[in-house]
Structure 1
Amino acid sequence: MTTTTTTGADASPPPPPDGGPAAEPLPAHRLVGRATATYIARLQPQFLADVPSAVAELARLRRGAGRRAHQSPDLWGIGGTDELAGLLDGHEGHIRCEYAEEAVFLAATLWALHQQSSREHGMHSRGHNLGGAVRALIRLKGATSADEEDSPLRKRLVRVGTAESLDSVAVRLREIVLLLRGAKVPLDYARLAGQLYRWQHRPDRAGVQREWGREFHLAAVSGAKKAKAGADGGNGDAIDGTLRPDEDFGGYAAGE
């Protein structure tokens, strides 16, 4: 695949088979997230069931964690790239294919590294965003509310947000994933893949950085609501509705 110079983020849908109205365009980052989710949804249950081929594939994927797709030719054809190619068929002129490949590859290899620690639970879990996962990890380490903002783990998230190259993002995310792995804190790798796709497009980068920050701070709201619910004997409310896993957040659709 080759990178295009198209600036729009939407992929044009195929024409309707019956001559009816065309479907709504699917944003490019959603195609990237879907390819990642499709790949992991196939492989994760097999790994948890100790299927030898899946165990071997994750072992191969882990070797690419924190690296770029072109640096790991031995992984061509796995890591969600085939799923991505299928979804992009006919849409190549409306998506930055190189960005998509890098995003899917990085997310899939980081998931494989993350999953290494557990045969009981899948470490890809929808709705567990990056900022919220870091906040959860901080709390598992025993930090008080007053200490959370000064936590070294928060500083690691900030380092991801301030990275200037995809190589730096990959290395810094790998550091966080290793910590999440140790604590068995899951992460939504489909969402992360979509964010990584958008991050590579300079005009969209600030929006992704703001998302990571908001995820972290809104997780504090979630924690406060849960604590209050526990004190009141209730179940509490979900955190801000904009963070529901089935909706866009922080400029996904608007290209913030």
Structure 2
Amino acid sequence: MTTTTPTTTGATTSAPSRNRAPAAERLPDHRLVARATGTYIARIQPQYLSDTSSAVAELARLRRGAGKRVHQVQDLWGIGGTEELARLLDGRNDFIRFEYAEEAVFLASTLWALHQQSGRDKGMHDRRQNLGGAVRTLIRLKGASSEDEEDSPLRKRLVRVGTAESLSSVAVRLREIVLLLRGAREPLDYARLAGQLYRWQHRPDRAGVQREWGREFHLAAASATRKGKPTSDGETGDAIDRTLAPDEEYGGYAAGE
């Protein structure tokens, strides 16, 4: 006896949505998000530092979006790192969670613009400083002793970022930290932050990002150690976690670096 399997004619196969991902899927694309942010800032930051009028005007517009969500500031459509992101993803139908990427690039770019405001002595985007390390450096600049660091209000601000339950809360709490970093002229790696914010929005990856922020804080040594001076045990310290080296994390996002 022969069994015939019926076929369906006229059926259409829809392409998978780039905004859908299985609940347990981990995001493999964060390097593109970091690259988009880093490439954009690497291009506009030198122009701002040299007082180029177009760059000054662009940062003034970007600052209005700091601490907000991308859909809340329609005036910023067409400028910022989101344009660079669109170029990188052009034709890539395999990229998932595009809205996560857009939010991450937008938030990181606008926070950088706020951080850079009125400062032309140096760029506030610096690949050598992560979020946890920047907060710990700020604590030391405030004169806290090593015994007082764990109870520092600045450390508690970082903890509040890590324990936030919504991207809107993360945005507001990061803005508070960035304003403090701006006052101290302490830079931050905004490309790395963008990649972390992208992953944070995907629930299965959130705990990993939270661990990174905590690890960054704990691995940031005293200022003397950060300059390569010996620690009490005779070893040379480093504020950057080499297991998360920039070249590995981002794939070298800015030409000429």
Q: Give the drift of 1:94.
A: 2.6
Instruction: Give me the whole-angstrom Cα distance separating, in 2, the residues matched to 1:131 and 1:3.
Output: 32
Question: Residue 115 of structure 2 contacts residue 178 of structure 2 at CA under 8 Å; is this kept in 1?
Answer: yes
Deviations 1:116-158 (A, max 9, x none): 0410100000021000000000000000000000000000000
The one-letter amino acid paired with 1:67 is K
1:78 Cα shift? 1.0
Partners of 1:117 and 1:142 lie apart in 2 by 25
Aligned to 1:57: 58
Report the counterpart of residue 200 of structure 1 in structure 2: 201
- Give the match for residue 96 of structure 1: 97
The reply to whether residue 45 of structure 1 matches residue 46 of structure 2 is yes
Query: C-alpha offsets along residues 176-196 of structure 1, whole Å, 9 cap, x if unaligned?
Result: 000000000000000000000
| TM-score, reference length from structure 2 | 0.83
* Displacement of 1:174: 0.1
| CA distance in structure 2 between the partners assigned to 1:243 and 1:123 by the alignment | 20
Residues 4, 149 of structure 1: CA spacing in aligned structure 2 closer, same or farther, 3 A cutoff?
same
Higher RCO structure (Cα 8 Å, ≥6 apart): 2
Contact 1:4-1:93 at 8 Å conserved across structures: no
The answer to whether structure 1 residue 114 and structure 2 residue 115 are counterparts is: yes
- Give the Cα–Cα distance (whole angstroms) in 1 for the partners of residues 111 and 196 of structure 2: 14
**Amino acid of the residue matched to residue 70 of structure 1?**
H
Distance in 2, Cα, partners of 1:228 & 1:55: 36
Q: Please give the alpha-carbon distance, in whole angstroms, between the structure 2 residues aligned to 1:103 and 1:97.
A: 10
CA distance in 1, matches of 2:228, 2:120: 33
Is 1:238 matched with 2:238? Answer: yes
Quote the Cα distance in structure 1 between the aligned partners of 2:35 and 2:56: 22
Q: CA deviation at 1:82?
A: 1.1
Answer yes or no: is 1:168 the counterpart of 2:163: no
Match of 1:28 in 2: 29
Partner of 2:255: none
Q: CA deviation at 1:163?
A: 0.2
Give 1:19's aligned residue.
none
Indicate the residue corresponding to 1:128 in structure 2.
129
Write out per-residue CA displacement over residues 100-125 of structure 1, whole angstroms, 9 at most, x where no aligned residue: 00000000000000000410100000
- Are 1:3 and 1:98, in contact at CA under 8 Å, matched by a contact in 2? no
Partner of 1:15: none
- Evaluate the alpha carbon distance shift between residue 30 and residue 151 of structure 1 in structure 2; reply closer, same or farther with a 3 A threshold: same
State the 1:227 CA deviation: 7.9
Taking the aligned partners of 1:114 and 1:45, their CA distance within structure 2 comes to 15
* Paired residues of 1:128 and 1:187 also in contact (CA < 8 A): yes
| CA distance in structure 1 between the partners assigned to 2:31 and 2:96 by the alignment | 11
Percent identity of equivalent pairs: 74
Structure exhibiting the larger radius of gyration computed from Cα positions: 2
Q: 1:4 deviation in Å?
A: 1.6
* Contact 2:228/2:238, CA 8 A, preserved across alignment: no
Amino acid at match of 1:98: E
- Per-residue CA deviations over 1:190-218 (Å, capped at 9, x if unaligned) read 00000000000000000000100000000
Instruction: Name the CA distance, whole Å, in 2 between partners of 1:165 and 1:237.
Output: 35
SS of the residue 2:133 aligns to: helix
Change (3 A) 1:70 1:226: closer
1:149 aligns with 2:150: yes
- The reply to whether residue 79 of structure 1 matches residue 94 of structure 2 is no
Cα gap change, 1:231/1:91 in structure 2, threshold over 3 Å: closer, same or farther? closer
- 3-state SS of paired residue (1:85): helix
Distance 1:63 1:219 in 2: 31
Structure 2 residue runs of 5 or longer lacking an equivalent are 1-16, 251-257
Q: CA deviation at 1:224?
A: 6.9
Give the match for residue 229 of structure 1.
229
Partner amino acid, structure 1, of 2:205? D
Q: Is the 8 A contact 1:6 1:93 kept in 2?
A: no
Q: Pairwise CA RMSD of aligned residues?
A: 2.3
